[in-house]
Structure 1
Amino acid sequence: MLIGKKILLGVTGGIAAFKAASLCSKLVKEGAEVRVIMTESATKFISELTLQALSKNAVYTDTFDEKIPEKVAHIELADWADLVLVAPATANMIGKMAAGIGDDMLSTTLLAVTAPIMLAPAMNVHMYTHPAVTRNMAELRSRGVHMIEPGVGLLACGYTGKGRMEEPEAIVEEAKLFFARQAKRAALPLAGKKVVVTAGGTIERIDPVRYITNDSSGKMGFAVAKAAQELGADVTLIVARTQVDPPVQINAVHVESAVEMYEAVSARWRETDILVKAAAVADYRPKSPAQHKIKKSGDELQLELVKNIDILQTLGEQKTTQFLIGFAAETDHLEQYAKDKLKRKNCDLLVANDVTQTGAGFGTDTNIVNIYDAAGLVQSLPMITKEEAGLRIMELAAERLAGAGK
């Protein structure tokens, strides 16, 4: 997958810079064309000559050292790359990227890059968990930057913990996986398939100005819908209350209550190939919504609720050839509840997350999910952007559909 690929390797000033030599060598052996940018501090750990010999290309360190007079080097490199890989990525460079600072050759080039970016963080365990660093990494993830999680072990500073740059072999595999997935997307594995995605939180009216709802932002459902469209599907979004607007390029049907959502899904159910129930549907609704605003009177107000239709379970019982994906937002016993929900509701896949985890709750731009099927855990995804999680989910659905011959 790396033959002929243009990889821009950024090397920053941490002790893990010595691994960049092995990484560069392995990328070249896999057939990639590699160009290297080093920060000044990186040259204190490993020489430019080493990476020049391994990449067989000139190494860039100085923004003002224009090796080809008719070209602006940092723009030419930014335009040239199919993938940018920063390994190691120090806390300093991560902070510069998050803030949009360009004060050296690497950070300036990164501001001009339009290709995908992967970072392999490497730093002391306390630096890695510092609030500013975690905030900066979350910001970069939300922009689509892919983080290659560091390993846990003995660090150069003497501490033991998370912060070791991932090994070069594993980083090369990440790069190969990236290009393999690019090829899959280009092949449009969901072309001709009709995908329906529900998103947001339903509203159950108490009176004309009050309602029952939940914290669902709609971001996960929107990410799934965009991924399905990117893979070639004909996508319909059924949207309840959300914190952000739905993607403009996707057909959206707006609903309010659980009943309206069920009706909208049911109307499309027979022609649906994949249904992704990412919406948070209210379990109960007021039995008798008031026609006029309820006036305050007394110290208590009793509200009688009745159960809503369980959309996922109802369609799970009705499905024939449809592929059904459910979601479960839990606060404890994640695996137990996810497996139980998958079985009871006859889902093909169940995507579960613990909303008490930082970066996995409602309204965030990231998620941490486990994906289950009838046999158990299929994939466990670390903290990644919801866009990335949506793509992983829909790629898996496309593989299952292809395997079933649908």
Structure 2
Amino acid sequence: MGGNSGNLLYANAVVRALSTRWTRIDTGGFDAHTQEDPSKFIKDVNRTYDHYVVPLANVFRSGFTDKLVKMTEIIRRLEIPVTVVGIGAQTTVTAAESDELRMTKTGKTRVPDEEVARRHDQVVRTFVETVLERSATFGVRGEVTKRYLVSLGIPDERVTVIGCPSLFTWGSDLRIEKTPGPLTRESRISMNVDYRVKGMADVVELNSELYPELTSPVQDSKSARMIITGVDKYDMSKFDSRLPIHTGHRLYKERRLVFYPSPWGWIESFKSQRFAFGTRLHGNIAALLAGTPVHLLAHDSRTLELARYHAIPHSLLSDFEKPPSAAELWERTDVEPFNQLQPERFRNYLDFMHTNGLRTVFDKDRSPRGFDRKIAEGQRTGPVLPQ
């Protein structure tokens, strides 16, 4: 899952979209850019496949520079069409509004110095230009990412904003229904937590106390291993003990901290929950895919550009003087803009796929039924609970 189970949502969404009856899809290559010599991988791809499709997340972030160099080398040596789907930039909210965009990491409030940023920008530009030698257009998550690439010299018309593919898993008909009435202590609520984001310890502490039925699905691999093995994986001398990343936390001891090994079971679980909120982008998207209202606590350009593009209900975490309760976020949540925009956003995504020579299960005379039969068992896979 690449260290984060949220990655499974957009990767599986792209696979489902491409799973037509006449198409063979093999998944893999996730570690190709970590190989010292990827020659065999490149040779196998060139010999076996007609198209190389790369669903990516926020890989333009600072710290991913060297891996992008390796990915660029692999794509340069491919002899088939290459399509990048849904890639995103990542910087602070403040930096995203400036004329000089510099990439950073999740939870970081500082951007790299000019020399580091200049090297990173050159690597990003080379990567995009290499992909565009084998692709009609380049698919990005939001307007901030597009503005960043255009500032590097990438032609505006070659960059298409498509949002996050995960939100098109079921097609254009996804609708969110918000039930009437306030949240109560008996409400079933999901709270997703990125432990790297400043201020989340306060949010966790407040809401864990207010809502006894609240659960918190973990997404990072260390927390997943902790739940599976019962052994702490983080050095808590470096973190606030109020964060649910250790076995002494109340959410762990009360078995309200959970891990979903199947993305399909994770989505299915939200059908019995009333509301989801938090700082994890795909923790909220998983709920949306079940038709459940969410409120994203945006904290960087990555979360904010997608919230704006898809009209996901959101607030900036930094705007709150006090940690918000789920009830407060519920009152701020309006799902209608998302519902109204979804068909248009989906059509744009489908146009992008067609422009790049890809057929989908959403096209005329095609169906996702074969794929959906295969995931039925995964939809029945529930959470792993703490020891």
TM over 0.5: no
TM range (shorter): under 0.3
TM-score, normalisation: structure 2: 0.26
Of structures 1 and 2, the larger Rg is shown by 1
Larger relative contact order, structure 1 or 2 (CA cutoff 8 Å, min sep 6): 2
